[in-house]
Amino acid sequence: MFISRRISINHYLWTFLSVIIVTIIGKLLTPFFNLTNIVLLYLLPVLISAVRWGRGPSFFAAFLGVLAFDFLFVPPVFSFTVSEVRDLFIFAVYLVVALVTGTMATKLRNELEKTRQREERTLALYALSQEIAAEADLPQVLETLVKTVSETIHAQVSILVSDPDDDVVRQAASYPPQHSLPDGKEQAVAHWVLEHGLSAGKGTEILREASELIFPVKAEDKTLAVLAIKMNNEEETVSPEQRQLIEAFANLAAVAIIRVQLAEEAEQAKWLAESEKLHRALLNSISHDLRTPLASITGAATSLLAEGNVYTREVREVLLHTIKEEAQRMNRFVANLLDMVRLESGILKPKAEWCDIQDIIGVVLRATKEASQQHILKVHIPPELPLVKADFTLIEQVMINLLENGVKYSPPGSEISISARYHDKMLLVIVADSGSAIPKIEQERVFDKFYRLHSTKNISGTGLGLSICKGIVEAHGGSIWVDSSPEYGNRFTFSLPVSEQPPEQQDTKEGAEHVI
């Protein structure tokens, strides 16, 4: 964007040509105008040269115009001799007017050029600020910075950051992408700039033998990174105006880098807080949900071993059932923990196959028959439901968790219903219980890990069952939610996407018989 001000020889050649043209025109007009009128024509090359190419060509046009006018128009013609004093006065007036006009036009041109450069600089800074404000990733911020600087000053730009592990500077981004800072003294200069926070290298008074200008990106007293700049024309150096613009770019980038770093630190702090919270919840859960059944098993086993002959057959069976139930409880707890770990690590992948939801519900009812024997189970499954592509075992696990959840938090003798329906290319499965309604503000949080309602603290549980359900359902592309009311209790609903062209229903007739 910046136009080099270096005066080219071509500008003088064009000035010379314009004086020749004016001379020819003047010769053509000589029969009609006097010398005073003719000399005014020579102000045109002066004005044009001043506006287009600056002061030097305009002064050249002024002096060349005087010589041409004297040699070709003022008697004696074809001689630089002046016969009358009034001709000298014309020359003097012309020169004064030409020099003043050229100077003023040059100043006006320079002011216009400065205004244009300020406008371009403002637009470039605004564009960069808009682009990096939307970036939340540090590499993206750095890539945007080097690209903007490169396109603005027509140079090859790379940015280097300190690697605290190896005590070296590391190239983080460059534009063009293939550009890189040479090894050796340039790397040493970059290291020096990073330590001292001053620009160095080509075009500066410090370490000037380097082939690139190394510029610091600073925030307050700390140097965050360094910019390495190599002009496309290797003979050029970065001008003072360009350096001011680079400094403005660097200040914007420094603010963006600090913002991204603070955001990352905040995210890290949030993650650590969540991790600490999860750690405490896990310890609390383990201390309660493992020790409680373990204490029951130990007590029952100790009683049977120490005084087994004293107990009646019925009492011994009660103690043995206690050991069995508490062992199963521990097994479910450990299984839930392992499922959660597999879900979060991404190891647990659904094995999609065509499933009939009636088959799954039938298996679930048989698996939970003993646990749900104190409740009234009702199942409403329409026969025309489409098949879904899902992992049979994982969806079975979801259903078992929801049903056990209803059994655990509903009063004995209450009704628990299971129903399903098809709606808008989704299969909806609803498990409704008659337990206490979940408050509205907690309906989202019941699917968080280890989260338990305050009203259910006296009921054993890990707080993992619903979060596992959520993880499994979402892994299938579905969703799960709960709506509650004091009138009907809690209705847990999960959805599974239905394929456009499910296979024939007769393949699943055997499974449907388990439920209906």
**Per-position b or e across 254-271, b if 16+ CB within 10 A of its CB:** bebbebbeeeeeeeeeee
CA dist list (Å): 53 to 21, 40, 56, 287: 18, 21, 8, 86
Q: Which H or E element spans position 242?
A: helix 240-289
> Model's pTM, two decimal places?
0.48
The reply to whether omega before 57 is within 30° of 0 (cis) is no
Strand-strand pairing, 426-433 and 415-423: antiparallel
Query: Which residues face 453 on adjacent strands?
Result: none
- 375: DSSP letter: S
Q: Which H or E element spans position 379?
A: strand 376-380
The reply to whether omega before 139 is within 30° of 0 (cis) is no
CA dist list (Å): 223 to 138, 184, 199, 247, 254: 16, 21, 11, 13, 9
Selection from 355, 395, 361, 356 nearest residue 515 by Cα: 361
CA distance 466 to 23: 96
Phi-psi region of 179 (alpha: psi -120 to 50; beta: other; left: phi over 0): beta
CA distance 196 to 214: 12
Token pair listed for 345: 């690590």
The reply to whether omega before 350 is within 30° of 0 (cis) is no
Do residues 195 and 224 lie in contact, with contact meaning Cβ atoms separated by under 8 Å?
no
- Residue carrying the six token digits 């996407």: 497
CA distance 96 to 73: 19
Residue-by-residue DSSP string for 444-463: TGGGSTT---GGGTTS---S
Mean pLDDT by 10 residues, the chain (516 residues): 57 91 90 85 89 87 90 86 81 86 86 85 83 79 87 87 69 84 80 87 84 86 86 82 85 84 85 72 66 82 78 83 82 75 72 88 86 88 87 88 88 91 91 89 83 67 79 89 90 88 50 39
CA distance 422 to 274: 38
Selection from 245, 30, 31, 6 nearest residue 124 by Cα: 245
Contacts of 337 (CB under 8 A, 6+ apart): 462, 464
Amino acid at 24: I
pLDDT of amino acid 472: 87
CA distance 43 to 65: 8
